[in-house]
Structure 1
């Protein structure tokens, strides 16, 4: 929960915990129940700044009660005393309430760096605790520190993994990997302890995400393909879990920005959860048939739509993740482009880019997704945009 993690990444980490918890089977009925899983969370920052959801919290008797506690954790935004936090976890959470003959497993999410003034040991959990470390670079673009992660994981090479960005925590494949680690096999004495078979978390159902679609209105797109972009957004809105109101603390809201020339940005839709309004744009939106200035469009979005500087638009929900989805071939004017990408990064935006056809600028597209290749999708034909398979794959990617 340090300042370098950033609010959005902290929120992504929280919802990773919630999603994993939602995959578990039976929870312990009380703090002494020999069967069922018990869950705890420690968030930490500078010296003495530690908050926890404890194993022995008598109010936690179900996944929903645990989720409520996790949602209540607020980003501290201080320093990084990782060794002390690990010692706190062992001495204050694990030792006082450890059940006899029960496996204790810890998952540590950090970049591996910590304040050198911290006197504690990175291997503080390596006392009959199975420790896994997930290393993710911080908000200042520093990569994860492998040597520290290895020590946190008790020097087990098979128990630490490095991700490029926090958004990868939401990937279904990664969560399935963690599920296999976390979920024990059923036993004779506790047959309901296993993970619920086939249980999946509904997309976006447990976290607030505001999605901003950038639709390329340049002459290279063409009017028919422009309409296909809008039909794709509509189909996707039917697949994902939308918010129920503007201040909902879960689900997605969708905004659509058509971009063209340097001063040509059209807010086709401010952040909304209304599927009918999205559908109506297919016939009502006016295609620009113009040039392409992605830099200006990104600056417009971060300034007017995220920060809501002019007060005319809705702006982001509190604690919501923000994702930019670029529907473009990447061919654009380069004026202010790199500066705009930097502003997007500084705003903790999670980007995704979808391109169609053979004539694309892959270098620009990679810049848009902050060089995260897994966030770049390419299709051969526009009709593939609205195929059920592709819609479902994007919905799964969004979480």
Structure 2
């Protein structure tokens, strides 16, 4: 009986498993070059502090360093915000990963209040709207506190323009309802929480995986990523 079960597993399950692994490999390979406009919207308010902002910059570099950067591939933009948004890296301003990383490392911390809604609207108006490429558009918002302005209208305007929004909340001062208002649905796929800035390294591989999924096949997020256990499952793929 045990022999029959083992044989059945080999016949039915093993090919399926190999197919899933092969597909995952194709996604990872394709996402390096899939044409995508990707914008990071980074909280640079007083609560972040210069030391934590340096951690964010390193995280940013680690997220993007394996992507192929260029006019036909992935373009990365960066907005830092506090009382007002600052365009740190325009979309399409770098044709290589090396120059993009150098630009990321040279970003200076702002300090100030937290106006996340204004920053999302700025990214829509001055980065995505300026891009002439018809492709996948993704924004990643990283914040450690409740916004001092309204985020819902700006986030909805971004989604109306086919921009996929991820929200990352750092620390205990973030507001769950606000992060959910920023991000796409389901929240279990598009909202992340970490206890402090050191802990953002824990979600690096998960974010890379989800950015790949969105850029290569945005209509097909794996079932595992749709429930609350998705993060744990995807961590195993890193």
- TM-score normalised by L of structure 1: 0.45
Q: Which residue number in structure 1 is paired with residue 181 of structure 2? A: 367
- 1:208 corresponds, among 35, 38, 44, to 35
Please tell me whether the aligned partners of residues 65 and 101 of structure 2 are also in contact (alpha carbons under 8 angstroms).
no
Q: Which residue number in structure 2 is paired with residue 267 of structure 1? A: 87
Q: Which residue number in structure 2 is paired with residue 226 of structure 1? A: 53
- C-alpha distance in 2, partners of 1:205/1:282? 19
1:244-393 equivalence runs, <5 A: 245-246=70-71, 248=72, 251-261=73-83, 264-271=84-91, 272=94, 274-281=96-103, 283-308=105-130, 315-318=131-134, 320-335=135-150, 337-373=151-187, 374-387=189-202, 390-393=203-206
Deviates more, 1:349-358 or 1:198-207: 198-207
Change (3 A) 1:194 1:296: closer
Change (3 A) 1:237 1:370: closer
SS at match of 2:174: coil
Please tell me whether the aligned partners of residues 55 and 198 of structure 2 are also in contact (alpha carbons under 8 angstroms).
yes
Please tell me whether the aligned partners of residues 212 and 257 of structure 1 are also in contact (alpha carbons under 8 angstroms).
yes
Change (3 A) 1:214 1:393: same
Number of aligned residue pairs: give it: 194
1:82-93 equivalence runs, <5 A: none
Change (3 A) 1:366 1:276: same
SS at match of 1:358: coil
Change (3 A) 1:238 1:331: same
1:33-72 equivalence runs, <5 A: none
- C-alpha distance in 2, partners of 1:194/1:218? 46
Change (3 A) 1:384 1:341: same
Greater relative contact order (Cα 8 A, min sep 6): structure 1 or 2?
2
Per-residue deviation, 1:206: 6.2
SS at match of 2:21: coil
- C-alpha distance in 2, partners of 1:386/1:332? 23
- C-alpha distance in 1, partners of 2:153/2:129? 17
1:27-176 equivalence runs, <5 A: none
Q: Which residue number in structure 2 is paired with residue 198 of structure 1? A: 21
Consecutive unaligned residues of structure 2, counting only runs of 5 or more, are 1-10, 213-238
